[in-house]
Structure 1
């Protein structure tokens, strides 16, 4: 696909918006004083901070185009993606951002790419996307 659309005259790929979800983990890093240790004169001090127990994690839905990051949406704490959240909160926010950046009004002509996660393939999500076109 990259070879097919690598020509300078191809504008189709610029209409593709890709989205996916990921967990972002937060770590509690040691302070400088907590990390200090005695070393001999000929030893090289450690410079790489070590990660410790996870303090928490949050789910993010991230969307990007060929131009870079388009939008990221953070889910509430201890929540995962559902069709209701995806269609009522996440996608409207993404489409609002798309409309402000595109010269064409609305989202017509936009190619939307996401995986086959249950929240993306439900009838509710499909109907929502059909109504946006």
Structure 2
């Protein structure tokens, strides 16, 4: 079935998932350095608060490598609408560039049962995208 001219090829399988990346910025110590004389009082150094940022990364790939790397904007959650309009449309265009003759007609999408993946909007849009 998975031989070079079989019905299904490993190159037709596309898989991926989402994950949150949390990162924060620590100011360098040299910003707090200053010269003071022996008699003067030390100035009060205000330390900045914990400035965290959180972004959703969505990565889809096939046997050739990554197809889609989507980084959502700050304070955006993954919904079925976002998933269909941004991620799946990018994936379709990437597959069309990679395999212009076959397109997405034989693409097998493998993903978990997360809410946006199994939502009605997603399942209805897959045949429209040719997946």
Q: Normalising by structure 1, what TM-score? A: 0.71
1:115 to partner: Cα distance:
0.8
- Aligned-partner Cα distance in 1 for 2:9–2:51: 42
Q: For the Cα contact (< 8 Å) 1:25–1:54, is it kept in 2? A: no
SS in 2 for 1:98: helix
Please report how far the alpha carbon of residue 102 of structure 1 lies from its aligned counterpart in structure 2 after TM superposition: 1.1
- Could you tell me how far 1:104 is from its partner in structure 2? 2.3
Residue pair 1:63, 1:69 contacting (<8 A) in 2 also:
yes
Structure 1 residues 30 and 12, CA gap change in structure 2 (3 angstroms): same
Which runs of 5 or more residues in structure 2 are unaligned? Answer: 32-49
- Aligned length in residues: 111
Q: Which runs of 4+ in 1 moved over 4 A?
A: 7-11
Counterpart contact for 2:21–2:54, Cα < 8 Å? yes
Structure 1 match to 2:111: 114
For residues 103 and 96 of structure 1, do their structure 2 counterparts lie closer, same or farther at Cα, with a shift above 3 Å needed? closer
Greater gyration radius:
2
Answer yes or no: is 1:91 the counterpart of 2:110: no
Residue in structure 1 matched with residue 74 of structure 2 by the alignment:
77
Deviation at 1:8, TM superposition (A): 7.7
Structure 1: give runs of 5+ residues left out of the alignment: 35-52
TM-score, structure 2 normalization: 0.72
Out of 123, 126, 131, the residue aligned to residue 129 of structure 1 is: 126
Partner of 1:50: none
RMSD: 2.6
